[in-house]
Chains A and B, each alone.
Chain A
Amino acid sequence: MFFAQGFWFPDGASTNTGDHDWLFHFILAISAIFFALIIAVGTAFVLKYRRRPGVSAEKSPTHNGTLEIVWSVIPSILIVFIFYYGFTTYLASRTMPPEAFEVQVTAKKWSWEFNYPNSAQDPDLYVPAGKAIRLVMTSEDVIHSLSIPAFRLKQDVVPGRYTDSWFQCDEPGTYNLFCTEYCGTLHSKMLAKVHVLPQAEFDDWVEKAADIVGNAPSLLAAGEILYHKRGCAQCHSITGETLTGPSFLGSFGTERAISGGGRVTMDENYVRESLVNPQAKVVAGFQPVMPTFKGMKDDEITAIITYLKSLAKGE
């Protein structure tokens, strides 16, 4: 059981999982042998030499040069090999193939944003199967880390700089993506899915994804899509429940106190300002933690406003 592939790992889905898993099982075998040896020898000695009346300790050497050299050198040789194989396998996973398809990744508390060359954007990662994908990542706030266990991939996402990683997955399917660097309140909800699609399906998806408002049946529907896609839902409920931010239910058009004093009515311009410059007028009682959505298109802002209005009416 311990050496079976499926016991330890999610099924390997990217091209470098084979080498990785081989190394893991190699170290596992070495460790199991050494551990079994230690326990067997220890148990045997304890049983054989346990204290019994009439028997006392026998003299034995207090050191033995040959033995000590042997048990230092053999592990040394093994770890040199483990180090070398670990390094070369790692290096292959770090060497970017020249023809990779690039996806820009932005991490923020507490959602992912994947941006495609044609300006499509989504909180989940969509990639074509059978093609090398390069992720170029940065963070808007604190350090996050992008982890896709099925691809054995992990890379820290650091504010103020770009980091990158790559993979190639040949099997279409859906895989888990986690944030693995602790980033505060909703760290454990900073999940996404990786959708690996056949090339043709991917091409369709990315073309469609680029035009949210144009694709939606109505402005209201576009607003609802944007509410989920842009990560609003992480902090603003539509049920009246207070999460990290105030709920949107029945809120549009109402007046509220803002921190630092004063009051403001939630109208079209307040919504726009809150998206572009979220820290300007924070509702009293909430932390100023909302990230900016400065790059959002005008028709998208209009769509969100339309959606918020519908929530005010309780539709």
Chain B
Amino acid sequence: MSSEAHVADGSAVHAEHETGENYLNCSHGLRSWLLTLDHKRIAVMYLAGLAGALFLGGIMALVVRLELWTGDGLVLSDDLYNHAFTLHGAIMTFLFIIPGIPAVFGNFALPLMLGAKDVAFPRLNLLSWYLWITGAVFAIVSMVVGAVDTGWTFYTPYSTQTSTQVINMTMGVFILGFSSIFTGLNFVVTIHKLRPAGMTWWRMPLMLWGLYATAIIQVLATPVLGITLLLLVAERALGVGIFDPSLGGDPLLYQHFFWFYSHPAVYIMILPAMGVISELISVHSRKTIFGYHAIALSSVAIAAFSFIVWGHHMFTAMSPMGNMIFSALTFSVSIPSAVKTFNWLATLYRGHIRLNAPMLYALAFIFLFGIGGLTGLFLGALATDIHLHDTYFVVAHFHFVMVGSTLIAFLGALHYWWPKMFGKAYDETLAKIACILVFIGFNVTFLPQFVLGTRGMPRRYHNFLPEFQGLHQASTVGAFILAIGLFLILVYLWKSLVSGKKVTVDNPWGGSSLEWLTTTPPPHYNFVGEPPEHDVYDYHDIRYDAAIDGYVLSKNEGDAAR
């Protein structure tokens, strides 16, 4: 049976479904999961792990926000507060948002989008997951045996002097770094070597451009973090003077090393999110993405610029000359980001826009990323950054980018690929309500923090002056709305897994990339027979079939389109 006939003929599709075999049920038992080399199962295992990390980090966030209800704190001591915000930052950054979209949706969709059977190195892929688990264990051990109080940035010389579990935590982050490097390496090789014959670079889905640019950063920047953390451990454990001035070191050197990784890491978080949004907006508007080349190249440009702007984290510590150079370079990142936003808007033009949950997340992304990006201008400009540096303005800005953009894109991706991943439908009404709750909760949490920041409220403060209380309380209320929204998602997705309606159509949204042209959920080797050939963002032959309430690939021009 040729692939064309397979996808074009609805009854053939159903015949395949009758056998009922897919990657989820082709083998059974815990062992078949823990030793799997299947990228789709690894994606599901990452999803479980990341959900756990998000939950833990979220609990810490609520603890922090609750404690900030009054200026004198509620129940925590100063030290416990410092532990709570450090764990919130470290868990969310290293365990959730850096692996984030690539680990779950990259792993699931990348080989499918290429029409490949798996990633280039399936064993390395499984090792990445085990490294993630090992890193997570280190982080949790350091929590249980005595916590860390340095903030997620581990700034020296504080981190070499504090008596808390810095070595355990940094070893965890070191191991997580390797997980990230291996995933990046795998994706780079997969995209280079496993593209099907007809798919040139300029015919790849933009999700793949996002993942490719991300992978390049992961491979090039993460080793610097690893080396930096090893130096930190060497200084703490052996007393070698590298960063601590009392041992003859230079504390600002640490910040240069740290941000040389951690600024590109910001783009490790946002680039895959931008890839997701490009897919969501195009598919749900049934429109070819506007300015494909500009979006693809801007991902690469952002990845390249990301390596040369780290100094803007240190404007209150560097010389005017250094600051001038880094400020100018920093602004260069804003243009490709703006270009992407304009392209997404232009894609909506004359579209056929379906406002389902994934699309609501995509639109929320444009709103929140707009605020996150524009507030970056205040921090890129030297004069205004000096006043705003290390205040809540910065906290609000990076939450708009990391949570408002990346987490929102993660949730959009989750709702978009969920039926394909699990073959189960979720409650669309609850999904929309949750999306709106998350959107409102997020804004109520973080908009007041911009004002706290401009009024001078420093970040990482357990206690604060009375004049800041009102805005802090608004922010805390928002955090709980956000938490309710996220919890609602957990509930209905769980319900979907346990008792959700079965999804049997291949292509519920009318997607044009290859993962939508295989069965749901996909078979173990992704495609029955040869993968189909199809141009991404070409919707003219993806037609709605009312009989199956889904879309089919049809070369017959006479079919009715919806």
Within 8 Å of chain B (Cβ to Cβ): is A247? no
The reply to whether A184 and B456 contact each other, CB–CB distance below 8 Å, is: no
Within 8 Å of chain A (Cβ to Cβ): is B142? no
Partner-binding segment picked from B167-175, B460-468, B485-493: B460-468
Residues of A close to B335: CB separation below 8 A: 72, 75-76, 79
Pick from B353, B367, B384, B458: contact of A27, CB below 8 A: B384
Min Cβ gap B360→A in Å is: 10
Q: Which of B79, B286, B341, B381 has the most CB of A within 10 A?
A: B381
Min Cβ gap A90→B in Å is: 4
The reply to whether A45 and B78 contact each other, CB–CB distance below 8 Å, is: no
Within 8 Å of chain B (Cβ to Cβ): is A31? yes
Q: How many residues of A contact B (CB 8 A)?
A: 83
Q: Which of B82, B155, B316, B561 has the most CB of A within 10 A?
A: B316
Per-residue 0/1 for A26-68: is the Cβ within 8 Å of any B Cβ (1 yes, 0 no)? 0110110011001101100110011101011111111110011
Residues of B close to A75: CB separation below 8 A: 334-335, 338
Q: Knowing A24-B384, A68-B339, A187-B461, say if A180 contacts B78 (CB, 8 Å).
A: no
Tell me which residues from 69 to 109 in chain A have a Cβ below 8 Å from any Cβ of chain B.
71-72, 75-76, 79-80, 82-83, 85-87, 89-91, 93-94
Tell me which residues from 386 to 436 in chain B have a Cβ below 8 Å from any Cβ of chain A.
386-387, 389-391
Residues of B close to A55: CB separation below 8 A: 352
Q: Knowing A50-B355, A158-B317, A176-B465, say if A79 contacts B345 (CB, 8 Å).
A: no
- Smallest Cβ-Cβ distance to A70: which chain B residue: B342
Within 8 Å of chain A (Cβ to Cβ): is B240? no
How many angstroms from the CA of A46 to the CA of B383 in the assembled complex?
38
Tell me which residues from 240 to 261 in chain B have a Cβ below 8 Å from any Cβ of chain A.
245-246, 250-252
Per-residue 0/1 for A145-181: is the Cβ within 8 Å of any B Cβ (1 yes, 0 no)? 1010110111110111101000000000000101111
The reply to whether A57 and B383 contact each other, CB–CB distance below 8 Å, is: no
Within 8 Å of chain A (Cβ to Cβ): is B157? yes
Within 8 Å of chain B (Cβ to Cβ): is A3? no
Q: Which of B287, B350, B363, B458 has the most CB of A within 10 A?
A: B458
Partner-binding segment picked from A5-13, A128-136, A196-204, A295-303: A5-13
The reply to whether A8 and B316 contact each other, CB–CB distance below 8 Å, is: no
How many A-B residue pairs have C-beta atoms within 8 angstroms? Tell me: 251
Q: Knowing A82-B331, A142-B161, A147-B390, say if A156 contacts B317 (CB, 8 Å).
A: yes
Within 8 Å of chain A (Cβ to Cβ): is B501? no
How many angstroms from the CA of A55 to the CA of B354 in the assembled complex?
12
Within 8 Å of chain A (Cβ to Cβ): is B189? no
The reply to whether A147 and B378 contact each other, CB–CB distance below 8 Å, is: no
Residues of B close to A205: CB separation below 8 A: none
Within 8 Å of chain B (Cβ to Cβ): is A188? yes
The reply to whether B374 and A82 contact each other, CB–CB distance below 8 Å, is: no
The reply to whether B82 and A184 contact each other, CB–CB distance below 8 Å, is: yes
Q: Knowing A58-B350, A62-B290, A154-B316, say if A159 contacts B381 (CB, 8 Å).
A: no
Q: Knowing A45-B345, A179-B458, A184-B162, say if A51 contacts B354 (CB, 8 Å).
A: yes
Tell me which residues from 310 to 344 in chain B have a Cβ below 8 Å from any Cβ of chain A.
316-317, 320, 323-324, 327-328, 331, 334-335, 338-339, 341-342
Within 8 Å of chain A (Cβ to Cβ): is B271? no
How many angstroms from the CA of A145 to the CA of B252 in the assembled complex?
13
Min Cβ gap B278→A in Å is: 13
Within 8 Å of chain A (Cβ to Cβ): is B370? yes
The reply to whether A141 and B381 contact each other, CB–CB distance below 8 Å, is: no
Residues of B close to A42: CB separation below 8 A: 345, 348, 363, 366-367
Residues of A close to B375: CB separation below 8 A: 31
The reply to whether B371 and A178 contact each other, CB–CB distance below 8 Å, is: no
Q: Knowing A142-B161, A186-B78, say if A23 contacts B462 (CB, 8 Å).
A: no
Within 8 Å of chain B (Cβ to Cβ): is A185? yes
Q: How many residues of B contact A (CB 8 A)?
A: 86
The reply to whether A35 and B371 contact each other, CB–CB distance below 8 Å, is: yes
The reply to whether A182 and B539 contact each other, CB–CB distance below 8 Å, is: no
The reply to whether A57 and B286 contact each other, CB–CB distance below 8 Å, is: yes
- Smallest Cβ-Cβ distance to B460: which chain A residue: A182
Within 8 Å of chain B (Cβ to Cβ): is A143? yes
Within 8 Å of chain A (Cβ to Cβ): is B203? no
The reply to whether A10 and B455 contact each other, CB–CB distance below 8 Å, is: yes
Within 8 Å of chain A (Cβ to Cβ): is B288? yes
Q: Knowing A56-B562, A142-B157, A152-B386, say if A38 contacts B341 (CB, 8 Å).
A: yes
Q: Which of A10, A30, A38 has the most CB of B within 10 A?
A: A38
How many angstroms from the CA of A27 to the CA of B354 in the assembled complex?
35
Within 8 Å of chain B (Cβ to Cβ): is A255? no
Within 8 Å of chain B (Cβ to Cβ): is A229? no
The reply to whether A90 and B323 contact each other, CB–CB distance below 8 Å, is: yes
Q: Which of B338, B366, B391 has the most CB of A within 10 A?
A: B338
Within 8 Å of chain B (Cβ to Cβ): is A189? yes
Residues of B close to A91: CB separation below 8 A: 320, 324
How many angstroms from the CA of A60 to the CA of B288 in the assembled complex?
9
How many angstroms from the CA of A76 to the CA of B335 in the assembled complex?
7
Min Cβ gap B391→A in Å is: 7
- Smallest Cβ-Cβ distance to B151: which chain A residue: A182
How many angstroms from the CA of A61 to the CA of B290 in the assembled complex?
8
The reply to whether B382 and A86 contact each other, CB–CB distance below 8 Å, is: yes
Within 8 Å of chain B (Cβ to Cβ): is A287? yes
How many angstroms from the CA of A307 to the CA of B353 in the assembled complex?
77
Min Cβ gap B361→A in Å is: 14
The reply to whether B350 and A83 contact each other, CB–CB distance below 8 Å, is: no
The reply to whether A45 and B349 contact each other, CB–CB distance below 8 Å, is: yes
Q: Knowing A63-B292, A187-B461, say if A45 contacts B454 (CB, 8 Å).
A: no
Within 8 Å of chain B (Cβ to Cβ): is A20? yes
Q: List the 5 shortest-distance A-B pairs measured between CB atoms, nearest first.
A: A149-B456, A160-B245, A86-B381, A90-B382, A89-B383
23 A-B pairs within 8 Å (CB atoms) are namely A10-B455, A23-B381, A27-B384, A46-B348, A49-B285, A51-B352, A57-B352, A57-B539, A60-B349, A63-B293, A71-B338, A76-B335, A79-B377, A86-B383, A86-B384, A93-B383, A143-B158, A145-B389, A152-B387, A163-B317, A180-B390, A187-B460, A189-B78
If A51-B354, A63-B291, A147-B458 are given as contacts, then 11 extra A-B residue pairs at C-beta distance below 8 Å, sorted by A number, are A23-B383, A27-B377, A31-B377, A35-B371, A42-B367, A55-B352, A82-B377, A90-B320, A93-B386, A152-B387, A176-B456
> Chain B: residues with CB nearer than 8 A to chain A?
78-79, 82, 149-151, 155, 157-158, 161-163, 245-246, 250-252, 285-294, 316-317, 320, 323-324, 327-328, 331, 334-335, 338-339, 341-342, 345-346, 348-355, 363, 366-367, 370-371, 374-375, 377-378, 380-387, 389-391, 451, 454-456, 458-465, 539, 561-562
